[in-house]
Amino acid sequence: MKKLSTAYWIPFVSISFFVSCGYTLYGAAMGEEKSGILESNSQPKVYPADDFKGSFPTSVILIISDGAGIGHYSTLYYGSDDFAPARFDHVGIVTTHPSDGSTKVTDSAAGGTALATGEKTYNGAIAVDHDHNPLKTIVEWAEEKGMATGLVATSTISHATPATFGSHVDSRSKEAEISQQLAESSIDVLFGGGSKYWEPELFTNVINSGGQVIADISDAVDPLRRVVGLFSKESMITANEGRSPSTVQMAEKAISILEHDPDGFFIMIEESQVDWGGHANSSEYVFGEMESLNQVVNYCLDYQRTHPDVLVVLTTDHETAGCSVNDGSDGALDIQFTGDHHTANFVPVWATGPGSEAFDAFLDNTEIGKTLIRYIKN
């Protein structure tokens, strides 16, 4: 067996030593150790949206893809032959940090509150400030204007993101209390999972107050009466497992009900489980939920084409797991994750319809909430 000469094995041993001592292969060649800790800016600047001088929408469809950052959208783009977000007219970049002092990574409660109210709060807060005072949500502004309102989610309807639009509690963990507030609210359509958190009398109260409770998305409804449909005891099953009803079916049914209001409507549709796919570091889970999102976006943009007074906005409460797309073998995608929790990475916002130009910018998440509330108020 031929032995390696000193000229070959000394560099090999040296590089192996450097890599084992905290260098990447490239770093060893450059003499740069791996490092990850940097001092942070404790007061990140908020970049406000420009004052909009054009026409205002009469209805708003807000789609939230929980946990989806640029990497998740890249996964959809490279893994599918259809990329619905490309159909939007405007796209911007959004910061998502909460107001927890030096904390930069938000949870869905604080992130959802920023989108629902236009205000920062602490992680875990459901549409309340640091003193637990309620923050007025876009749903409440819309109801004040006489608009129809709806929430759709593939998690429990009392989960953090949908909860921030329809309730006020000091902790996202209080799903039974959130459910009671949702049941007692004036929200016209509630679709999702989580019936285990609704005591039987809550459904009875909905019916006694003139509302309807459906068990199947195909059930006939009176569009002039409130509708509650909780299609799973827990969160709904994944898209890959054949979620039924699908997110797009719930969105279509909800909009078909809300559009009967002559004063317009506001609806929040959450593709909740992209986040959970990121937590699991499962590319298959992420991709299945992103494909479901793609269907929702295509439906909503098709609807907007025939209803040009409607504004459609797609954004994210936060990024999850540091998702990135890399080349695998034989042309496959190698999806990598930097961790299994949320990150402070910027996320995209996409928009089409009256007022969509305001989102063609670098924004803080509170500016999305403030802008949508300004449109509703006008």
Q: What is the DSSP string of 1-62?
A: -PPPPHHHHHHHHHHHHHHHTT--HHHHHHT----------SSPPP-PPPPP-SPPPSEEEE
What are 304's two structure tokens?
Answer: 């907007």
Structural domain includes residue 354: yes
Average pLDDT over residues 365-369: 98
* Confidence bin at 35 (pLDDT 50/70/90): low
Q: What percent of the chain has pLDDT over 70?
A: 89
Claim to verify: residue 214 and residue 97 sit in the same structural domain: yes
- The radius of gyration of the chain's CA atoms, rounded to the nearest angstrom, is 23
Can you read off the two tokens belonging to residue 32?
């740069």
Q: SS3 for 109?
A: helix
pLDDT at position 33: 82
Does position 19 have pLDDT exceeding 60, yes or no?
no
Q: Are residues 210 and 91 in the same domain?
A: yes
225 with 365, same domain: the answer is yes
Give me the catalytic one of 108, 155, 167, 283: 108
My answer on whether 302 and 198 are in the same domain is: yes
Tokens of 158: 């009392």
Domain range spanning residue 5? 1-37
Residues 32 and 117 in one domain: no
Q: Which carries the bigger pLDDT value, residue 10 or residue 255?
A: 255
What are 135-146's pLDDT values in tens digits? 999 999 999 999
Q: Is there a cis peptide before residue 245, judged by omega within 30 degrees of 0?
A: yes
45 falls within a domain: no
Cα–Cα distance for residue pair 116/203, rounded to 1 Å: 25
- 196-205, pLDDT tens digit by residue? 999 999 999 9
> Token pair 């709060």 is at which residue?
121
Same-domain pairing of 27 and 63: no
pLDDT tens digits, 108-119:
999 999 999 999
The whole-number pLDDT of residue 41 equals 67
Which pLDDT score, from 0 to 100, does residue 24 have?
A: 78
Q: Are residues 7 and 137 in the same domain?
A: no
Q: Which amino acid is at 249?
A: Q
pLDDT above 60 (res 276): yes
- Residue 102 lies inside a defined structural domain of this protein: yes
pLDDT at 2: 47
Q: Verify that 30 and 64 share a domain, yes or no.
A: no
CATH (domain of 173): 3.40.720.10
The pLDDT score that the predictor gives to residue 4 is: 43
Domain annotation covers residue 293? yes
DSSP 3-state of 378: coil
Q: Do 95 and 368 contact (CB within 8 A), yes or no?
A: no
Burial class (CB in 10 A: 0-12, 13-18, 19+), 79: middle
Residue 51 lies in a domain: no
Within-domain flag for 43: no
Q: What is the DSSP string of 46-68?
A: P-PPPPP-SPPPSEEEEEEETB-
Alpha carbon 142 to its chain centroid, in Å, reads: 20
Domain check: are 274 and 356 in the same one?
yes
Scanning the structure block, which residue is given the tokens 């708003």? Answer: 60
* Catalytic site includes residue 158: no
> Does residue 63 lie in a domain region?
yes
Q: Is the pLDDT of residue 267 over 70?
A: yes
pLDDT score recorded for residue 49:
62
Q: CA-to-CA distance for 15 and 321, rounded, in angstroms?
A: 30
Q: Is residue 117 part of a domain?
A: yes
Distance CA 87, CA 257 (A): 25
Task: With cut-offs at 50, 70 and 90, classify the pLDDT of residue 55.
Answer: confident
What does the angle CA 283 – CA 333 – CA 338 come to, to the nearest 5 degrees?
55
Tell me which of 45 and 230 has the higher pLDDT: 230
Query: In terms of domains, do 13 and 155 share one?
Result: no
Same domain membership, residue 8 and residue 126: no
Claim to verify: residue 27 and residue 169 sit in the same structural domain: no
Count how many domains the chain has: 2
Burial label for 31, CB within 10 Å (0-12, 13-18, 19+), is exposed
Cβ-based neighbours of 200, under 8 Å, separated by 6 or more: none
For the segment 323-362, what is each residue's pLDDT rounded down to a tens digit?
999 999 999 999 999 999 999 999 999 999 999 999 999 9
Q: What share of the chain is helix, strand, coil (3-state, %, to 5)?
A: 40, 20, 45
Q: Is the pLDDT of residue 179 over 90?
A: yes
CA-to-CA dists, residue 45 to 121, 132, 348, angstroms: 16, 24, 18
pLDDT at residue 22, as a whole number: 80
